[in-house]
Structure 1
Amino acid sequence: MNTKADVMAVVPGAKALRSVLFGPEEGELHAPWRTLLSAPAFRRCPGMSDEEHLEWVYERVRLLNAAIEDPLALVKDPVRLACLHEWLAFVDPTLSGVSTIHYNLFLGSLAAQAARGRDLRPYIDMQQLGTFLLTEVAHGHDAAALETTAVYDRATDSFTLNTPNAGAQKFLANTSEVGGSKTGLVGARLLVEGKDQGIFLFLVPLTDGTGALPGIRVRRLPARLGSAHDHCLTSFDRVRVPREAMLDGVHGRITGDGVFASEVSERRHRFMTSIDRIMTGRICLSAGTVGAARAGLTMAVRYGRNRHITGLTESSRLAVFDLRSHHGPLVEAIATVYAMNMLYRQAARRWNERDRTDQAALGQAARFVSVAKAWITWQSRSVAAQVRERCGAQGLLVNNGIAQQLMMTEGVITAEGDNQAIMVQAATELLLTHRRPAAVAVGARGRGLTDADFLGDLLAEAERIWLDRAQAARRAAPAEALARRNHAMGPALRGVDVHGHRLAAGALADAVAAMPAGPDRELLEDVLRLFALRGVAAHSGDLLSRGFLTGEQMEELPVLMEGLVARLAGQADVLVEAFAVPEEFFEGIPVASPDYIAAYDDPEGPWQKEPVSR
C-alpha cells in the first residue's frame, strides 16, 4: 500500500538526519507501523463522546492485533515493540495505553509461560484482552508491600484471592466490561500454610464482556483529564483459581505435592523477577513520548509558518515563526527532542542486549533505562507545553490533539514507576558509588564552548558538584536515618537530573560522531551544541566558581546560544521534516493544515453571500 507516509523527507538535508534518528533498520522497524497507522481506520471521527471513543479504542486494538503477524514474537523483541509505541502514541494516547498493557505487561509477562505448555492462543488472538493489576489504592511505587492475598490450599490445589481492605483495591486497571472479555495478571501476596512467600502474578479471568465474573467487583474511577481510558477499582472476594494460574519459574512455584519451592531466597528479588516487564514498559513509554513530541513540534513549526500577524509596519504581514520570541523556544525544544530520541534508542538497545547473568551489569542497565524514562518524559512535558503555548488558543482545542498529548505525558510520568520515585532510587545508587577523582580532568583554559567534548566534561563536573553537595549534606545531618536521607536528597536529585542531561548529550554526541563529514553533520553538531550548552548554562555559576569556566566564557555563553538558535531557526523545516511524521496523521487537525482558517469556515457565513450593491 502506497501512502503519503512513504513519500517523505522532501526537504533537502532531512534524509541524512532521518537516518540518524531512526537508524539503518528504519525500513524494518518503523515503516510497517507508519504504514499501518496511516490507514483511514486509525483516524478518529470528530465529535465522539468519551464512551464512543473508548469503544473505538478497543475495536482498533483488535484491528492492530490482526495486522501483527506474530504478537508473541513482538513482545519478545523490546526494540520492535517500542518502535510501535513511537507511532501509536500520537495517533491516539488511549489506544497506546491499552496496547502497552496488553502486549507488554500482560502478554510479555506470559511469554515465558508458553515454553511450559501454557496455551496463550486466547490472548494472542485477543479473544481475551489482557490487563495488568498491580498498583493498589495504598501501594504504588512500594508495590512490594501489596496487600491483596493469594492463599494456597493444598487440599484443592488452588489459590483463593482476596482483597482485605479498601487500600488493597487494585487501582487504575482497565477492567470495565467495555472492550469484551478480559483476563488480568493480578499481583498478590502468596501465602502458603500461613507463610508469606512474596508477591507473584496470577492469571485471573475478570469479565465476560457484559460484566464482572463472580467474586470480582469492578467500579469505574472518575474520568482522567484528556483520556477516555476505562480506569477502574477492582477487588476480589474469595476468588478461587487453579494452581496453574500462578506465573511460576525459578523465583517460585508450587510443586506437584503442594510445596512451595524457590531458587531465589529473598522475597523482594522474587517480586522484581515477577514484574520484570516493567523495564520494557519504561522503554515503551519513553518511545511514545518521543514520538508524540516529534509530531507535536512538526505541527507547531508548520503553524508558526502559516499563522501571519501584522509586521513591523501596519501594511506588512509577518509569519509568527519569524519572531525570535516565537521560534526560540521551539528551536530549543527541537534540540531537546533530538537528544531525547537518541537517549531512548540507546536505552532500548542497552536493555535488549543486557547480560542476564551479571547482576552488577544488569543493575546498571536497569538504572540507565529508568533514568532515561524519567528524564525523557519530564522533558516531553516541557516540549508539549511549548507546543501548546506556541499554538495559542488553537493548542487548547480538542480537535488539534495538543492538549491530549500534554495530558498523556502527565500520565506516563506516573506510569511504570513514578518519575520522582525512580530518580530518588537512581540518586541513592549514584551516591553509593560516587567518588570524586583525585585529579580534576576538566580545565577551562584552552578549551572552547564549541567543543562538544568540553561541554560533556562540564556536564560531568556539574553532576559531581551536586553529588558532592549531597554527600556533604548527609554527613552534616543528624545521625537519624531519615534526616540523613532528607538532607542529602535535594542536591542528589539535582545531580541525577544533570546525569540524565549528560547521558542524553552523550547519546546525541555518539550519533554525530557516526555521521560522515559535511553540512548534515555540521547541522547536527549545532543541535548538540545548543542542547549541551543549555545544560551547562543551568550550572554555569557553580562551574565558574570552581574554575571550570572563565569569566570570558560566561560572557560568551549566552551569545553563543543566541547564535545557535538563529542558525537552527533557519533549518527548522529540515529538522522537523526528518521526524518523518506521516501526513495522514495530521488529517482533520486544523493547526497542521496550510490553511487552518478553512477548518473554521462557515458555509452560511455572511461573507459567503453576494456583496450588497450600493
Structure 2
Amino acid sequence: MSAALPSHLAAALFGHRFTDLHEPWRPLFATLAGYERLERIGTFLCTELGYGNNAAQLETTAVRDRHGFILHTPGTAAAKFMPNTSPAGGPKTGIVAARLLVEGADEGVMLFLSHHAPLLEALATAYAATLLHRTALARWEHALTTPGADREEAEIHAALTKAWTTWQVRQILIECRERCGAQGLVPVNGLADYLATIEGPITAEGDNLPILVKAAAHLIMGHTGESPTAQPPDTSPADPDFLQHALRRGEDLHRQRARVALRAPAAGTLSRWNHATGPALRLAEATAARMAAQSLLETARATPDAQATDLLLTLHRLLALRLLAPCTGDLLAAGHRLRGRPFRSRHVRPGLRA
C-alpha cells in the first residue's frame, strides 16, 4: 500500500527539513521525523530495468483503492533496479516513480511513498502457518500415542494443515520476491530457488487439491462444526475472540452452501458431488485458515512476555482481517451484525498500519 506524494514533499525526504513544509502537510509527516534525525533511510526509486530513468517510458503503475494506492510491476522490464536498495544500511522507505491510472486513464508519472503492509501480512501468515504446523504435529502425536484418541480427526487436521501452509508459503515467497524487485530474481539471493522448491511439498505426499477435497467431504458430512449461537463476551472487532467468531461464521456459511449443493437434484452420486466441490473446497480452506488464526491466538495468550503477547495479538488481528475480507459481503448478507450495525472489516483495519 502506498500514498501519493507531491514532489516538494518527496524533496523534503531527500535534502530539506520537515519544518520547511507548508503548514497543512506537517501533521501528515510528523511520523517521518526519524529521517530528519538520520535514524531512517529513504531511497528514490525511478530506474527500471528496461527503461533506466526515462520517465516517459516507465511502466510501474499506481491504482487508487479505498486505502491508498496499489503499486504494480506489470513485467520484468518495469522492475525497479536501484543500487541503493540492497540490505546494506538496513531497511529503507522508497519514493516510487509510477504511472498513475485513474479509471483506466493514464495521468502521467508521479511519486508515491511506499509502505510495507503486504510484508506485514506475509509475516502474520508465516507465524500462523508455523504455529498451525506445530499444532498439527502435536495432535498427530497425541492420536498415535493415546488409546482411544480420534485418529481420523487428526488425519483431517493434518491434511488441512499441509494444503494451507504450503499454499501460503508459496504466496509469501511470491510477495517477498516481488518486493525485492530484480534483486529477488538473482539466484545468489535464494528467493527464486525457494519458489521452485516449495512446489515439491505442494505436490509430494499427496497433491494438495485431492487431499483437500477428501478433507472437505469429511467437513460436510462427518463433522458438524456449528458455531455457537451466542456472541463472544466482547463484540468489539478489536477483540480477537470476536474475530475468531466471525471467521467461524464465514466457515459455517460455506458449509451450509456445500450441503445445499450436495442435496441438489443430480444424475447420480458423482454428479451431485461434483456440483458441491466448489463450495466444499472453500469450506476446507476457510476451516484451515480459521485453525491457523486460532493457533496464533492461543500462542499469543500463552506467551509470558507482555510485549511479545501484544505483538502476536496484533499479527492475529492483521491475519484475521485479511482472512475475513473476502467473506465480509457474505456475512453482511447473512445478517451478522456488530452492536446493531452490520459487520465490516473497515471497523478495525484503519488502526493497523505498516
TM-score bracket, shorter-length normalisation: 0.5 to 0.7
In structure 1, the partner of 2:318 is 530
Distance 1:559 1:457 in 2: 16
Distance 1:499 1:537 in 2: 15
Out of 370, 378, 385, the residue aligned to residue 159 of structure 2 is 370
Distance 2:114 2:347 in 1: 18
Give the superposition deviation at 1:321: 12
**Is the 2:232–2:245 Cα contact (8 Å) retained in structure 1?**
no
1:406 and 1:525, CA in 2 relative to 1: closer, same or farther beyond 3 A? same
Q: Where in structure 2 are the equivalents of 1:350-361 lying within 5 Å?
A: 350-355=139-144, 361=150
1:397 and 1:301, CA in 2 relative to 1: closer, same or farther beyond 3 A? closer
SS of residue in 2 equivalent to 1:353 = helix
Distance 1:476 1:311 in 2: 52
**Is the 1:477–1:483 Cα contact (8 Å) retained in structure 2?**
no
Out of 301, 304, 320, the residue aligned to residue 516 of structure 1 is 304
In structure 2, the partner of 1:337 is 126
**Is the 1:426–1:496 Cα contact (8 Å) retained in structure 2?**
yes
Amino acid in the other structure paired with 2:178: E
In structure 2, the partner of 1:429 is 218
Tell me the C-alpha RMSD between the 2 structures. 3.0
1:446 and 1:338, CA in 2 relative to 1: closer, same or farther beyond 3 A? closer
Give the superposition deviation at 1:479: 4.2
In structure 1, the partner of 2:235 is 447
1:535 and 1:506, CA in 2 relative to 1: closer, same or farther beyond 3 A? same
Distance 2:266 2:199 in 1: 36
Give the superposition deviation at 1:452: 0.8
**Is the 1:388–1:395 Cα contact (8 Å) retained in structure 2?**
yes
Distance 2:88 2:277 in 1: 42
SS of residue in 2 equivalent to 1:404 = helix
Give the superposition deviation at 1:458: 1.2
Distance 1:530 1:328 in 2: 10
Amino acid in the other structure paired with 1:323: S
**Is the 1:335–1:528 Cα contact (8 Å) retained in structure 2?**
yes
SS of residue in 1 equivalent to 2:150 = helix
Distance 2:135 2:234 in 1: 32
Distance 2:261 2:205 in 1: 30
Identity %: 39
In structure 2, the partner of 1:549 is 337
Give the superposition deviation at 1:445: 10
The aligned length equals 256
Distance 2:86 2:230 in 1: 38
Distance 1:398 1:337 in 2: 23
Q: What's the CA shift string for 1:72-98, capped at 9, x where partnerless?
A: xxxxxxxxxxxxxxxxxxxxxxxxxxx
Query: Does residue 486 of structure 1 match 2:277?
Result: no
Distance 1:303 1:343 in 2: 34
Distance 1:360 1:467 in 2: 25
In structure 2, the partner of 1:416 is 205
Distance 2:88 2:343 in 1: 35
**TM (normalized to structure 1)?**
0.39
Distance 1:301 1:493 in 2: 41
1:364 and 1:434, CA in 2 relative to 1: closer, same or farther beyond 3 A? closer
Amino acid in the other structure paired with 2:237: L
In structure 1, the partner of 2:178 is 389
Give the superposition deviation at 1:507: 0.6
Distance 1:521 1:489 in 2: 39
**Is the 1:350–1:365 Cα contact (8 Å) retained in structure 2?**
yes
**Is the 2:95–2:113 Cα contact (8 Å) retained in structure 1?**
no
Larger Rg: 1
1:311 and 1:496, CA in 2 relative to 1: closer, same or farther beyond 3 A? closer
Out of 83, 94, 114, the residue aligned to residue 323 of structure 1 is 114
**Is the 2:265–2:272 Cα contact (8 Å) retained in structure 1?**
yes
Q: Where in structure 2 are the equivalents of 1:51-66 lying within 5 Å?
A: none
Distance 2:210 2:169 in 1: 18
**Is the 1:540–1:549 Cα contact (8 Å) retained in structure 2?**
no
Give the superposition deviation at 1:447: 0.5
1:370 and 1:358, CA in 2 relative to 1: closer, same or farther beyond 3 A? farther
Unaligned runs of 5+ in 1: 1-299, 313-319, 570-614
SS of residue in 1 equivalent to 2:229 = coil
